[in-house]
Amino acid sequence: MRRSLVVAIAAAAIAAPLAVGTATASAAPRAKAAKAPVVDFNKDGYADLALAAAHATVGGKQEAGYVAVVYGSKGGADQARRKVVDRSSAGVPGDVSKYGAFGRELTAADLDGDGYTDLVVGAGTGGTVVLWGSAAGLTDAAARLPGAVGSLAVGDFDGDGHRDLVTHDHKATPESGPPGMTVSYGPFTRGGEAARKDDIGFESFPELDGFVAGDMDGDGVDDLVTSHSFEDRAFGSRFWKGGASGLGHTSKDLKASVGGAVADVDGDGYGDFVTRDNGPFDDDNEGDKGTVRVDYGSKNGPAATRTVKITQDSPGVPGVGEDGDQFGASISAGDVNGDGYADIAVGVPGEDVTASGKNVRDSGNVVLLKGARSGLSGKGAQSFTQTTPGVPGASEKGDKFGAEVSLADVNGDKKADLTVTAPGEDGTYRDSGAAWVFKGAGTGLTTAGISSFDPAALGAPEKDARLGSRLAR
């Protein structure tokens, strides 16, 4: 927004990991929705963080990129227990190369079925790799994932208990034609081979932009939403139903969307599709005010009519929506206050903030919207910038605080903590990036005990790093 930011609740708090399919006793679910697994590389019960720095200079190579991992603990994100991985790391296939962009895409799942979360890292060159989890965390063992390129998402699309990987690549056939996607079904071997693969063509659909996975029809099997555009025009997204044989080859029309999360915000047992409404155009996302849209889940998937839009001008939402704010640029879900309803963290990286009496452009902001039996709304919403008392740092031009957000229980107290990144934060070098972890509590997010770190704190390369340009979910 283009004025001084007003923080709704000065000393707030937040809570727990992703709450899909949970509900209070007064709101018994009508269906059993699948819960999203926690990113836990060492299976110690604490959520771990993986932050990409795909633009970083590594070994003198511009935009070679790396990924930094910070392990969770009872005290929160433990900077002393960390791992920095790039193409020169032991076991990682490929070489450090200029414009290699290691970390351009990032996701996490237990691909080999051993109970430890694995980290999937996409890149500009050198192919996508998986780093295997273990009791000691991510190991030096890694493998290429053949054919996995472009956008990535994970889910259990056939309900067999093994995590599956969907990727942008697609082998066109005379029947399917380009473009399309490939679903690689788990479990994977340690050599990176899937149990089976399925190529799904989009026929005449426009270009694929990305994926959002989760159970939206309450059958315990994950579904998929694909978003689409062509040149400057946004096209409708598509809902692909998961089932015993995997993702179906036919889809249902949805309104145009960009990114998002699947979570049960109203406690009815169906995962709701929470996304950024894209409108008719795809070339103005960086210049618009931004709108978060909720398509509520049902036995038939995201509802066409039971939907709601939330902006910074909605009742209870702090601030005012103005061009360039990008409300909804990043979205994550988790039960922040432990009430059984998923809450939604919304990144607003284009927010202007008043600091020291001056308007600071594109400093950034993050807003927490709270779930309830009546659904998602602005009631009780919280808002935080680097000018908020208790938040380390200072709001500066181009920080983009809120570029990426993630809700996960890093300290194991059954309440989701919020990780926020600002890739434009300056350190020794310009745009080295930084991250903040807000603790969850019964009343929402709290500014007490916030931890923050930049590449230098992690012993990672700083130059052009833009740490936090991606977060693994």
Higher pLDDT, 324 or 424: 424
pLDDT (tens digit per residue) in 20-33? 333 333 333 445 55
Average pLDDT over residues 279-300: 85
* Position 14 pLDDT exceeds 50: no
User: At which residue do the structure tokens 């479990």 appear?
Assistant: 187
**Is 178 a residue whose pLDDT tops 70?**
no
429 pLDDT band, cuts 50/70/90, is very high
Give the separation between CA 212 and CA 468, rounded to whole angstroms.
Answer: 19
The pLDDT assigned to 175 comes to 52
Q: How confident is the model at residue 7 (pLDDT cuts 50, 70, 90)?
A: very low
User: How would you label 257-276 residue by residue, b for 16+ Cβ within 10 Å and e otherwise?
Assistant: bbbbbbbbbbbbbbbbbbbb
At 230-276, the pLDDT tens digits run: 777 888 899 999 999 999 999 999 999 999 999 999 999 999 999 99
Predicted local distance difference test score (pLDDT) of residue 419: 98
Share of the chain above pLDDT 70, in %: 89
37 band by pLDDT with thresholds 50, 70 and 90 = confident
Mean local confidence (pLDDT), 117-125: 96
What is the rounded distance in angstroms from the CA atom of residue 434 to the CA atom of residue 469? 10
- Confidence (pLDDT) at 232: 77
Query: According to the model, what pLDDT value does residue 13 have?
Result: 29
Q: pTM score > 0.85 for this model?
A: yes
Among 107, 110, 243, 80, CA closest to 166: 107
Return d(Cα 236, Cα 251) in angstroms, integer: 11
| Mean pLDDT calculated for residue range 134-154 | 90
- pLDDT at residue 446 above 50? yes
Stretch 415-433: mean pLDDT, rounded? 96
Distances (CA, A) of 166 to 211, 329, 387: 8, 22, 39
pLDDT at residue 201, as a whole number = 83
Helix count and strand count (H, E) for the chain: 0, 30
Question: Distance (Å, rounded) from C-alpha 13 to C-alpha 262?
Answer: 22
pLDDT of 50-63, one tens digit each? Answer: 999 999 999 999 99
pLDDT at position 34 is: 55
Q: What does the pLDDT read at residue 9?
A: 26
Average pLDDT, integer, range 107-111:
98
User: Distance of CA 227 to CAs 1, 255, 278, Å?
Assistant: 27, 9, 10
